[in-house]
Amino acid sequence: MEKTVNQKAWFLVLPVLLLVAFSAVIPLMTVVNYSVQDTFGNNQFFWAGLEWFDEMLSSERMWNALSRQLLFSGIILAIEVPLGIFVALNMPKSGFWASVCLVLMSLPLLIPWNVVGTIWQIFGRVDIGLLGRTLAALGIDYNYTQDTFAAWVTIVVMDVWHWTSLVALLAYAGLKSIPDAYYQAAKIDQASRWKVFRYIELPKMMGVLMIAILLRFMDSFMIYTEPFVVTGGGPGNATTLLSIDLVKMALGQFDLGPAAAFSIMYFLVIMLISWVFYTVMTNLDKKGG
Amino acid sequence: MADATADIPGKLVAEGRNTRPRFRVNTRAVVMTLYLLFLMLPIYWLFNMSLKTNTEILNTFTLFPRDLTFDNYRTILTDPAWYMGYVNSMIYVVMNTVISLTVALPAAYAFSRYQFLGDKHLFFWLLTNRMAPPAVFALPFFQLYSSVGLFDTHIAVALAHCLFNVPLAVWILEGFMRGVPKEIDETAYIDGYGFGRFFVKIFMPLIASGIGVAAFFCFMFSWVELLLSRTLTTVDAKPIAAIMTRTQGASGIDWGVLAAAGILTIVPGALVIYFVRNYIAKGFALGRV
């Protein structure tokens, strides 16, 4: 749509600007403030320059948390995206059962995040959980509070359970926008199922898939509540992801300087990667019209 | 043969492309059944536990409650310390939805209709707030709201959640508004409508579904968030999700009540999901599908 140039439109945007400035810019400036200052208590601060950034960049703790985070986001993207597409391809296209699928699939998305954690914490427990009990009965040694591998499996499966439906719903929305004529043309050409997917469905889904990947990346990168409820970051530090570590540092130990420096770098990493996704996304948008 | 298979759920998927061989149709149904089973099992287990007594939970392992009891629900619904959590959550969630929509509506209109200095940057900047990890903002929010005397009030949580809900609402609404032809605005202005009257009387009814979807998503994201709402409250505005942790008493965890509280937090989402099922993908895609 052609848009008119109208600088007065700023007045319409002003309320949003003020509100977001209050709830985002002021807090962010506080963080910036802390990141360059040091204190001996009594609310007396003095300039520390980039000392905290230096300290954080050379601290093993942050790099470990970051690599765990990257591993976690990588694993869940590698599982959720293909699985989501697969589920979307198998969903009924219309009618009563399509509604049933949509409603049931959306359900996990609307559960408060700590309840998601609680559900899986209970589900996986060896004494009272269905999953834990079943695995134990099968003779598999599974205990997510002691064993690093089991803890990882639990939080990954939990995230897959929680968010695959999001990818599936978006892919499904993309699939539904494909006109029937495309499939008929493919049938005339006697295209195989794989070719139909590769040359018709996948390109048409690309736009929404990028959004799905962007969202899943962002949200998995800042995940806190769910794994915290299940494992508390343990055993040891095995599942201490970035946010868990940050909250520990800022609200637990009250190490304001390092925590603030950590925060800023954390935010920058998310913004950088998201910006790349966003640019790719808008370019796709333009190409697809 | 067609009649014989009429009752099988697999039949419905045949509607989409009805020339498939029969085994193919069944694969689809099997995939969906397995996936939905995977989604529902943990929730079922929580529900199952909420109807059991603690003795039964801890001592026997049963797939359905033998000794059916509603005491867990009764405990929650009669104890103010419990049910006030739901009331608190509801209050700040509704506040947040109202605030977010009020400021987002004019802004989304401006973005969808006008070009102005810095509009694209501003639009992306709004999105970056959706990327901000709540963990980064927890401490600054705590200090900000303490210093202005809003700590432990509903409005503090509502404002804090605006951080991610306002950008979300702007994006979703802008997506819906783009679909309304501009000629409608122009005709209305020619007919002598002022901006305010046009917006409320003509434009808002046109994008009613968009407003509904945006409201639903604000409601939902405010409802599921825990980290910020827990950090900003202690007693008076404590959300239900945070109260759930208090089941850890001296005598161990009260599993039954915990499960019942969990089930009750799923209910609000489950109730409204039916109405927005066809828009869920669009909402999650920030209005971009």
What is the DSSP-derived secondary structure letter of residue A110?
A: G
Q: Is there a contact between A219 and A164 (Cβ–Cβ < 8 Å)?
A: no
What is the DSSP-derived secondary structure letter of residue A178?
A: S
Q: Among A38, A5, A11, which residue's Cα sits nearest to residue A260? A: A38
| Cα distances (Å, whole numbers) of residue A16 to A20, B59, B147 | 6, 55, 23
| Cα distances (Å, whole numbers) of residue B165 to A82, A267, A274 | 29, 18, 18
Q: Cis peptide leading into A235, omega within 30 of 0? A: yes
Give the Cβ contact number of residue A85 at 10 Å. 23
* Residue B94 burial by Cβ neighbours in a 10 Å radius (0-12, 13-18, 19+): middle
- Which of A22, A100, A114 best tests the B interface by mutation, with the highest count of B CBs <10 A? A114
CA distance A116 to chain B (A): 9
Separation of alpha carbons A123 and A136, rounded Å: 13
Element (H, E) at A160: helix A148-176
Q: Do B143 and A207 touch (CB under 8 A)?
A: no
Q: Domain locations in chain A?
A: 13-37+44-49, 62-288
Residue B140: which of A30, A123, A212 has the nearest Cβ?
A30
Q: Kindly give the interhelix angle for A9-20 and B119-131, rounded to the nearest 10 degrees.
A: 20
Q: Do B39 and A10 touch (CB under 8 A)?
A: no
A62-288 carries CATH number 3.40.50.2020? no
Give the Cβ contact number of residue A267 at 10 Å. 19
Region of A206 (left: φ > 0; alpha: ψ -120 to 50; beta: rest) is alpha
Separation of alpha carbons B72 and B79, rounded Å: 11
Separation of alpha carbons A283 and A279, rounded Å: 6
Residue A27: which of B127, B131, B141 has the nearest Cβ?
B141
Q: Do A173 and B289 touch (CB under 8 A)?
A: yes
Contacts of A263 in chain B (CB under 8 A): 133, 135-136
Q: Do B113 and A9 touch (CB under 8 A)?
A: yes
CA distance A10 to chain B (A): 7
CA distance B45 to chain A (A): 7
Contacts of A1 in chain B (CB under 8 A): 112, 178, 182
Separation of alpha carbons B123 and B107, rounded Å: 10
Specify the domain boundaries for CATH 1.10.3720.10 within chain B: 79-284
CA distance B89 to chain A (A): 11
Nearest-by-CA chain A residue for B266: A111
Q: Among A207, A184, A39, which residue's Cα sits nearest to residue B289? A: A207
3-state helix, strand, coil in chain A (%, to 5): 75, 5, 20
Max Cα distance, chain B (Å): 75
Contacts of A62 in chain B (CB under 8 A): none
Separation of alpha carbons B155 and B150, rounded Å: 7
Give the Cβ contact number of residue A219 at 10 Å. 18
Please give the radius of gyration of chain B, using alpha carbons only, rounded to the nearest integer. Answer: 24
Q: Do B116 and A6 touch (CB under 8 A)?
A: yes
Q: Do A5 and B36 touch (CB under 8 A)?
A: no
Q: Do A93 and B16 touch (CB under 8 A)?
A: yes
Separation of alpha carbons A12 and B195, rounded Å: 11
CA distance B144 to chain A (A): 7
Q: What is the pLDDT along chain A (289 residues), one digit of tens a residue?
A: 567 888 888 888 899 988 888 888 888 888 888 888 877 666 677 777 777 788 778 888 888 888 999 999 999 999 999 999 999 999 888 888 888 898 899 899 889 888 898 899 888 888 888 888 888 888 888 888 888 898 999 999 999 999 999 999 989 988 888 888 999 999 899 888 899 898 888 888 888 888 888 889 888 988 888 888 888 877 888 888 888 888 888 777 777 788 888 888 888 888 888 788 778 877 776 765 4
State the pLDDT at residue B250: 56
Please tell me the number of Cα atoms within 13 Å of A233 on its side-chain side. 15
Contacts of B159 in chain A (CB under 8 A): 19, 22-23
Q: Is there a contact between A104 and B282 (Cβ–Cβ < 8 Å)?
A: no
Beta bridge partners of A46: A38
CATH code reported for the domain at B79-284 = 1.10.3720.10
Handedness of CA B256, B259, B264, B267 (dihedral sign): negative
State the pLDDT at residue A110: 87
Q: Do B134 and A243 touch (CB under 8 A)?
A: yes
- Which of A7, A12, A86, A255 best tests the B interface by mutation, with the highest count of B CBs <10 A? A12
Kindly give, in sequence order, each residue whose CB lies less than 8 Å from that of residue A59, ignoring residues fewer than 6 positions away. Answer: A258
Strand, helix or coil for residue B162: helix
Strand, helix or coil for residue A5: strand
**Phi, psi of B16, deg, nearest 5:** -60, -60
Kindly give, in sequence order, each residue whose CB lies less than 8 Å from that of residue B31, ignoring residues fewer than 6 positions away. Answer: A86, A87, A90
Kindly give, in sequence order, each residue whose CB lies less than 8 Å from that of residue B143, ignoring residues fewer than 6 positions away. Answer: A30
Q: Do B110 and A224 touch (CB under 8 A)?
A: no
Residue A8 tokens read as 């007065």
Contacts of A96 in chain B (CB under 8 A): 12
CA distance A130 to chain B (A): 7
Beta bridge partners of A47: A37
State the pLDDT at residue B276: 83
Q: Is there a contact between B92 and B229 (Cβ–Cβ < 8 Å)?
A: yes
Separation of alpha carbons B253 and B245, rounded Å: 9
CA distance A70 to chain B (A): 15
- Amino acid occupying residue B132: A
State the pLDDT at residue A4: 82
Residue A118: which of B38, B106, B244 has the nearest Cβ?
B244
Q: Do B42 and A120 touch (CB under 8 A)?
A: yes
Strand pairing category for A45-47 and B248-249: unpaired
* Residue A206 burial by Cβ neighbours in a 10 Å radius (0-12, 13-18, 19+): middle
Q: Do A130 and B45 touch (CB under 8 A)?
A: yes
Q: Do B104 and A16 touch (CB under 8 A)?
A: yes
Separation of alpha carbons A286 and A246, rounded Å: 38
Q: What is the pLDDT along chain B (289 residues), one digit of tens a residue?
A: 344 444 444 444 444 455 545 455 578 889 999 999 999 999 999 999 899 888 888 887 778 888 888 888 988 888 888 888 889 999 999 999 999 999 999 999 999 988 888 888 888 888 888 878 888 888 888 888 888 888 889 999 999 999 889 988 998 898 889 888 988 888 998 998 888 899 999 899 999 888 988 998 899 889 988 888 888 888 888 888 778 776 665 566 788 888 898 899 888 888 888 888 888 877 777 776 6
